[in-house]
Amino acid sequence: MRLSVLDTGHRRRARLFMTVTGKLSGVTSPDIVKLLLYRPGFLTRPLLDLTAPAMRGESYWTAAEREYLALSTAKVHECPFCAVTHAELVRVAGGGDLDPRPELLAAQRFVEDVSRDADLDTAPLRDLPAHAVAQALDVNLVWNIVNRLANAFGFELLDGQLKTGTRALHRAGYRFPGFLLADGPDDLRASVFDQPAHTSPDLRRAAGAGEGLPSPWGGYVALVREASHRVSDDDVRALLAAGCGEDEVFEVTVAAAVGAALRSFDAGHAALRA
């Protein structure tokens, strides 16, 4: 984890939760849990409100197929943490290896192109119901955010975390206990871009749009948005050396990831309407 606040800056209830679950499972909380439990009023509540129904709500796609789509997104972003996790969740949710049906492969190719901001061909989707494609885009939106954050913050899987973490995540249906969450806007855009925080809304909106950024943010935000797998310890250290606080780096990184993911999500829906 590249920011110390994501390791040690949690509220007391979150620290207690991670301590208890760590003792019960025999492994420490994975980095994704640490991220989501850090300042949950800024990102976590609206993100989980998208994630739980996208991954385990009623859907045209089985749970294993949605994990397969999430795995495809992780491969696009070259995110080892998420790729390994979703490969395991495909097996957990499906009770074994998945043999993808043609409809899933068509949706997979489409959302991969959405993630790459490539030209979008909707012709292969003609035999899919509209709601199935929309649900695939919902899955893609969530993991286009999370993969960027996992890469930028340097998520790593420690021994024992994969098996215990994926099974706990599957059982919980991508939900956290309510007492761990915090009040805040329910809308993802309002939560990340508009509410008061350590950084100004103007800076976060600029990071979300990927333009108009003051020094020293421009190059870093471009990496998070376009090539998050290339973010390094040196990139984060340079921001801290320039006087940026860890909470500022956290907020701008989240804003960049959310803005880039929403751009792709909107483009995917626009292609379906064309």
Q: What is the pLDDT of residues 73-91, one digit of tens each?
A: 999 999 999 999 999 999 9
Are both 216 and 108 inside the same structural domain? no
Domain-located, residue 17: no
Amino acid at 49: D
Same domain, 196 and 167: no
Q: Same domain, yes or no, for 128 and 233?
A: no
- What digits encode the pLDDT tens for the residues 200-256? 999 999 999 999 999 999 999 999 999 999 999 999 999 999 999 999 999 999 999
Structural domain includes residue 15: no
Q: Which of 141, 156, 184 is the last residue of a domain?
A: 184
Cis geometry, peptide bond prior to residue 102 (ω within 30 degrees of 0):
no
Distance from C-alpha of 57 to C-alpha of 32, rounded to nearest angstrom: 21
What's the confidence (pLDDT) of residue 183? Answer: 81
| Whether residue 50 is found in the same domain as residue 158 | yes
| pLDDT digits 0-9 by tens, 130-186 | 999 999 999 999 999 999 999 999 999 998 999 999 999 999 999 999 999 988 888
Boundary of a domain, candidates 157, 184, 211: 184
Do 52 and 85 fall into the same domain? yes
> How many folded domains does the chain comprise?
2
List, for residues 18-55, the tens digit of each pLDDT value: 999 999 989 999 999 999 999 999 999 999 999 999 99
Q: Region 47-71: what's the mean pLDDT?
A: 97
Identify whether residues 93 and 179 lie together within a single domain.
Answer: yes
Give the whole-angstrom CA distance, residue 205 versus residue 192.
Answer: 9
* φ and ψ of 173, to 5 deg: 65, 35
Same domain, 160 and 110: yes
Q: Give per-residue pLDDT as tens, 99-109.
A: 999 999 999 99
User: Average pLDDT, stretch 47-72?
Assistant: 97
Q: Does any domain span residue 266?
A: no
Examine residue 4 and state whether it is found in any structural domain, yes or no: no
Domain membership of residue 228 (yes or no) is: yes
Whether residue 129 is found in the same domain as residue 53: yes
In terms of domains, do 116 and 207 share one?
no
**131 Cβ partners below 8 Å, 6+ apart?**
60
Indicate the pTM of the whole model: 0.96
Residue where a domain terminates, one of 136, 157, 184? 184
pLDDT for 185? 85
pLDDT at 125: 97
User: Per-residue DSSP letters for 58-112?
Assistant: S-SS-HHHHHHHHHHHHHHTT-HHHHHHHHHHHHHHHTS-----HHHHHHHHHHH
Q: What's the whole-number mean pLDDT along residues 55-64?
A: 97
pLDDT at position 10 is 96
Is the Cβ–Cβ distance between 149 and 192 less than 8 Å?
no
Residue numbers of the domain that contains 95: 41-184
Please give the structure tokens belonging to residue 173: 């249906």
Is residue 24, in this structure, part of any structural domain at all? no
Q: What is the pLDDT of residue 172?
A: 92
Query: pLDDT tens digits, residue range 190-203?
Result: 999 999 999 999 99
Residues 167 and 250 in one domain: no
Assigned domain for 270 exists: no
